[in-house]
Amino acid sequence: MKAINLNADLGEDCGGDDAAMLDVVASANIACGFHAGDAALMAATVAAALARGVELGAHPSYPDREGFGRRAMDLSPAGIEAVVACQVGALAGIAALAGARLSHVKPHGALSNRAAVDFGAAAAIARAVRAVDSGLILLAPAGSVMVAAGHRAGLAVAEEVFADRAYADDGSLIPRGHPQALIHDVEAACAHGLRMAEGGVIRTLSGRDLACVPHSICVHGDDPRAVALACRLRQTLEARGIAVVALSRVLHRGA
């Protein structure tokens, strides 16, 4: 049986229904305080995820609470290493208090966008992740520079696609300022996700098809339709014989 992971970015206190989303996804990427969240929210999100058997991941960002981590910042590689290590280490500590461990790290927002094309930034993230825990999975945009940087650092790397985001012809995400960057229609987003999971094809905004080998599909938790999309997508995947499982299980199956 084919398998894929379904993940969501949570603990961001942005109006989404984290509890409902945790009933659907298999992995949670938890904000670590630099773009959203704080120690109390991190602990609550960890507890809620563990209660549902959902794997824990860190979602580090630039230090940019005002811009929700979506503003570009000119941090040096050393600066990126420091902020990523700080955030991953903080969430790892909170998970340890709950008797658990992190499974993965997924960079957020502008930091992720930069590391998708900038090898120096991507390598800095990979070094920080490895320094905190070399057993962590780096969850990186499919086909991006971050995938190569993670492998070069000796990390397990999972490639991620986005059901609710439109793609450019170079495989990058359409910037959020574009009117068609976000796919709000549940059925359209579900079809987009299924095409990537089942067919290994990213259909770009212009209609071009790009090959991909995704391990995980993300549904952003801050969209009002996020839970409906996650439910519909999971139902559709399972109806097509694709199991939704933890990220670590997807990589194990592919090994």
Q: Which of 108-117, 159-168, 219-228, 237-246 has the lowest mean pLDDT?
A: 219-228
- Give Dmax over CA atoms of the chain in angstroms: 48
Query: Whole-angstrom Cα distance, residue 5 to residue 159?
Result: 10
Residue 223, pLDDT score:
74
**CA angle (148 as vertex; 207, 30 as ends), nearest 5:** 80
Q: How much is the average pLDDT of 130-143? A: 98
Question: Is the model's pLDDT at 1 over the cut of 70?
Answer: no
For residues 75 and 148, the answer to whether their CB atoms sit within 8 Å is no
Q: In the predicted model, is pLDDT for residue 224 greater than 90?
A: no
Span of 23-27, 41-45, 225-229 with lowest mean pLDDT: 225-229
Look up the pTM and report it: 0.95
Query: Could you give the angle at the alpha carbon of 31 between the alpha carbons of 95 and 29, nearest 5°?
Result: 70
Task: Name the average pLDDT for the chain.
Answer: 95
What domains lie within the chain, and their CATH numbers? 2-254 (3.20.20.370)
Task: Compute the CA torsion angle 68, 182, 9, 121 (nearest 10 deg).
Answer: -60
SS3 category, 82: helix
The pLDDT tens digits for 187-218 are 999 999 999 999 999 999 999 999 999 999 99
Res 254 pLDDT > 80: no
Residue 131 has pLDDT above 90, yes or no: yes
Residue found under tokens 């793609």: 167
Q: How far apart are CA 91 and CA 58, in angstroms?
A: 6
Please write the tens of the pLDDT for every residue from 56-88: 999 999 999 999 999 999 999 999 999 999 999
Per-residue model confidence (pLDDT) at position 161: 98
Give every CB contact of residue 85 below 8 A, 6+ residues apart in sequence.
128, 131, 132
Per-residue pLDDT, 15: 77
